[in-house]
């Protein structure tokens, strides 16, 4: 059953549909929340909140604006960043630097079997990130995975705020170009290919 059908069942109040979506996306959600918060307890709260938000307000998801997975993970990311910033106000997080990179060795018991499409998308975005110049990759990782604001990044890296902004934009543009090529067929299968307007012309 595809995500949209499950979403329709969630909307109709069927808890088994929510559980099926949980089975599908909880590992992605938990992995993301864990990477951003660096804290398993916070990450669990974030994941539970996100799935409850889907249960409580299923119509907040608009299928015209992209796949359910993207919406759900954006919700997870947003809540994880919020949680990190709340925590940051309470204590210093110097140790979190270790969480910038995914753990090199994962417990085999944690290994997650995913469908081929998801695994392929994952491979592509990781390759795109790995292909960025190091200084661009750093600002993206600090912003997205560490929940830092651009002024915080500037002061931590001791570079001007303007540089952080231009690096971020350059990185996003490169990521998009890198993910674009082989992604086309799949984008089309999302039914969203037709809407791609070339909004990224060079100045």
Partner 1 sequence: MSDPHDEALLAGYVLGALGPEDERAAERHLREHLPGCASCRATLEELRSVAGELALAAAPRRPPALLLPRLRRAVERRARTRRLRPASVAAGVVLAAALGGLGIVRGGPGGVAEAGLLTQLSPEHLDQALALTARTDAQAVAVGPATEVHAPGLDHFYVFGRDVPLPPPGSVYRLWLVGAAGYRYLGEFRPAPDGTVVLRIEAQPQAWDGVLVTLEPAGSAPSEPGRPMWSSAG
Question: What residues between 122 and 141 interact with partner 1 by CB under 8 A?
Answer: 122, 124-126, 129, 140
Cβ contacts of 31-34, under 8 Å, gap ≥ 24: 31/112, 32/73, 32/76, 32/77, 32/80, 33/76, 33/79, 33/80
Q: Does 9 bind partner 1 (CB under 8 A)?
A: no
Select the residue interacting with partner 1 from 149, 182, 189, 193 (CB under 8 A): 149
What number of chain residues touch partner 1 (CB under 8 A)?
Answer: 82
Smallest separation (angstroms) from partner 1 to the CB of 1: 19
Q: What tokens does 123 get?
A: 């491979």
Cα distance between residue 36 and residue 100, in whole Å: 8
Residues between 41 and 100 that touch partner 1 (CB under 8 A): 43-44, 47-48, 51-52, 55-60, 62, 66, 70, 73-74, 76-78, 81-82
Taking the complex as a whole, the smallest distance from the CB of residue 49 to partner 1 amounts, in Å, to 9
* Cα three-residue angle 201-202-203, rounded to 5 degrees: 115
Contact status: 193 vs partner 1 (CB under 8 A): no
């Amino acid at each position: 059953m595809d995500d949209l059908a499950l979403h329709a069942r969630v909307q109709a109040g069927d808890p088994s549909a929510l559980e099926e979506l949980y089975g599908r996306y909880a590992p992605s959600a938990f992995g993301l929340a864990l990477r951003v918060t660096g804290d398993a307890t916070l990450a669990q709260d974030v994941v539970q909140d996100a799935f409850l938000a889907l249960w409580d307000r299923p119509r907040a998801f608009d299928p015209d604006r992209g796949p359910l997975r993207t919406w759900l993970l954006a919700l997870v990311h947003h809540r994880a960043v919020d949680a990190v910033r709340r925590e940051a106000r309470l204590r210093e997080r110097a140790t979190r630097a270790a969480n910038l990179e995914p753990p090199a060795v994962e417990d085999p018991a944690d290994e997650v079997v995913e469908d081929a499409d998801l695994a392929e998308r994952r491979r592509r975005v990781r390759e795109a990130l790995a292909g960025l110049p190091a200084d661009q990759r750093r600002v993206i990782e600090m912003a997205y995975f560490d929940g830092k604001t651009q002024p915080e990044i500037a002061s931590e890296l001791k570079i001007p705020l303007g540089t952080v902004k231009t690096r971020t934009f350059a990185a996003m543009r490169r990521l998009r170009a890198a993910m674009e090529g082989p992604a086309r067929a799949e984008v089309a299968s999302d039914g969203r290919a037709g809407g791609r307007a070339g909004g990224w012309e060079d100045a």
